[in-house]
């Protein structure tokens, strides 16, 4: 859609609601919360590697931070993307507190230990086995549909790092799933 000079820009209803939230409008907050929490919850659950016990706390902290930062929302992305970015950062902070040694440096490779022979392995379990940084990029790119540019902005990393993490994550997923396949044959 092209907007002619002087023509009014379409107003994002979420931006209007967020502005109202910034002025203490509880009904606007409830509307945003109902609209965005289900997707945020699933994203956070996946980023945390299925640790459901932390998910509700991360979602709550995400909303607390979003409301506190409501005046700083510039509308450069959709409200949902902005909120998800906050959620990913809070999930990472929670992951660091829970498992401080599991975060990798840029040069480290993901662990691809084969699963126990009695364990059922599916894609969710294989994703849980990925290091947090790799799992986050896979979830954002392959599940949520974010571009590498968007992921880079959300996570504060270079576009090339996003691509690299995705490539390494997919390699690790393939290796994990292949090793499981060989074990069950």
When computed from its CA atoms, the radius of gyration of the chain, rounded to whole angstroms, is 19
All domains of the chain in start order, with CATH: 11-99 (1.10.1740.10), 101-185 (1.10.10.10)
Supply the pLDDT for residue 18. Answer: 84
User: How is residue 44 written in tokens?
Assistant: 């956070």
**Confidence band of 149 (pLDDT split at 50, 70, 90):** very high
**Tokens standing for residue 40:** 């945020």
User: Cα–Cα distance between 27 and 46 in angstroms, integer?
Assistant: 29
Orientation angle between helical segments 79-98 and 52-68, nearest 10 degrees: 130
Nearest to 146 by CA among 157, 156, 138: 138
Q: How many CB atoms lie within 10 A of CB 31?
A: 16
Compute the distance between CA of residue 73 and CA of residue 103 in angstroms, rounded to an integer.
29
Q: Residue 126: what pLDDT?
A: 83
Count other Cβ atoms within 10 Å, centred on residue 183: 14
pLDDT digits (tens, 9 = 90+) for 31-66: 999 999 999 999 999 898 887 888 999 999 999 999
- Percent of the chain beyond pLDDT 90? 39
57-93 per-position pLDDT tens digit = 999 999 999 999 888 888 888 899 899 999 999 998 8
């Amino acid at each position: 859609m092209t907007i002619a000079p002087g023509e009014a820009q379409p107003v994002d209803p979420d931006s209007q609601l967020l502005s109202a939230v910034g002025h203490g409008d509880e009904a606007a907050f409830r509307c945003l919360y109902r609209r965005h929490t289900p997707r945020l919850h699933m994203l956070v659950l996946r980023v945390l590697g299925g640790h459901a016990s932390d998910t509700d706390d991360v979602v709550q902290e995400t909303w607390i931070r979003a409301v506190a930062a409501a005046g700083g929302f510039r509308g450069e992305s959709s409200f949902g993307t902005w909120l998800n970015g906050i959620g990913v950062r809070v999930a990472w902070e929670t992951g660091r507190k829970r498992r401080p040694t599991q975060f990798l440096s840029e040069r480290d490779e993901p662990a691809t230990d084969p699963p126990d022979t009695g364990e059922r392995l599916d894609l969710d379990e294989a994703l849980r086995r990925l290091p947090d940084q790799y799992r986050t990029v896979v979830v954002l790119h392959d599940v949520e549909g974010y571009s590498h540019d968007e992921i880079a902005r959300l996570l504060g990393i270079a576009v090339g790092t996003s691509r690299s993490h995705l490539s390494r994550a997919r390699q690790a997923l393939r290796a994990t799933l292949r090793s499981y396949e060989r074990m069950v044959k």
